[in-house]
Amino acid sequence: MQSAVLLVTLCFAGICCQQLCDYPPSDWCSTWEIAKSCKVEQQCIEYYSRTKKDIKTSKEPAVQVELYYESLCGGCRSTLVLQLFPTWLMLNEIMNVTLVPYGNAQEKNVSGKWEFTCQHGPNECYVNTIEACVMYHLQDIESYFPVIFCIELSANMTSALEPVSKVN
Ligand SMILES: *[C@@H]1O[C@H](CO)[C@@H](O)[C@H](O)[C@H]1NC(C)=O
Ligand SMILES: *[C@@H]1O[C@H](CO)[C@@H](O)[C@H](O)[C@H]1NC(C)=O
Ligand SMILES: *[C@@H]1O[C@H](CO)[C@@H](O)[C@H](O)[C@H]1NC(C)=O
């Protein structure tokens, strides 16, 4: 009962309204209703009224974002999937994103041969390597970021890597 009263009070204070926006940032400007419930109408109008050409010819240097992450780390995965990727989808014209799947890895020179250890074990070294390989071969972030996103999003990365490993 007390919590219900508290909830009603919070709603009157307008705090509940913030919870109405449970859409990911990539969807905020997708419809007017979502933009309204997320209170970003003004930002969406500005976003759509600036053409891509305007943004590209801007003299301002791109915002540099480098993410050093571990492929199997839960916190890294949610940062990449829920924050960095949606932000990049909306703002890639003014961002230069560099992904480095080598967070917390150690390298050791064992009689002339490099040995790597990763925080979440050999499987993490394996997934890190596959991701680095995908980036090396696809070259453009426009091509490889969606692939990295899909790998990091999947519950079972081993099975997610099967289609990736079939692409030469
Ligand atoms: C983007 O970042 C990479 C390194 O992270 C750098 O080598 C490159 O020059 C940057 N490009 C632009 C256009 O800022
Ligand atoms: C790695 O170790 C070998 C000998 O164990 C040595 O000859 C080589 O210079 C080392 N490489 C680096 C980059 O330290
Ligand atoms: C992940 O997928 C692989 C290959 O499809 C399968 O062998 C493995 O059992 C799965 N792991 C889990 C935890 O579901």
On the question of pLDDT at 168 being above 60, the answer is no
Nearest protein Cα to ligand 2, atom 3: 112
Ligand nearest to the CA of 107: 2
Please give all residues whose beta carbon lies within 6 A of any atom in ligand 1, as ranges. Answer: 62, 64, 66, 96, 98
How many whole angstroms separate alpha carbon 102 and alpha carbon 121? Answer: 13
CA of 114 to the centre of ligand 2 (A): 9
What is the dihedral angle through the alpha carbons of 121, 148, 61, 50, rounded to the nearest 10 degrees? -150
> Among 120, 130, 158, 162, which residue has the most ligand 3 atoms within 8 Å of its CB, making it the best to mutate?
158
Can you tell me the mean pLDDT for 2-20? 42
> Which of 36, 120, 105 is CA-nearest to residue 74?
120
Tokens describing residue 103: 């967070």
Ligand 3 atom 13: the closest Cα is on which residue?
156
Nearest CA to ligand 1 atom 11: 96
Question: Quick one: average pLDDT of 94-98?
Answer: 95
Tell me the pLDDT tens digit for each residue of 112-140: 999 999 999 999 999 999 999 999 999 99
Place of tokens 């081993």: 158
Q: What is this structure's pTM?
A: 0.68
> CA 16, 74, 114 angle in degrees (round to 5)?
155
Q: Quick check: 3 pLDDT over 90?
A: no
Find the mean pLDDT for residues 141-149. 94
Residue 45 CA to ligand 2 centre (angstroms): 58
**Cross-strand bridge partners of residue 35:** none
pLDDT of res. 13? 41
Q: Check pocket membership of 159 for ligand 3, CB cut-off 6 A.
A: yes
Which range, of 18-22, 42-46, 72-76, 132-136, averages the lowest pLDDT?
Answer: 18-22
CA atoms within 13 A on the CB side of 20: 14
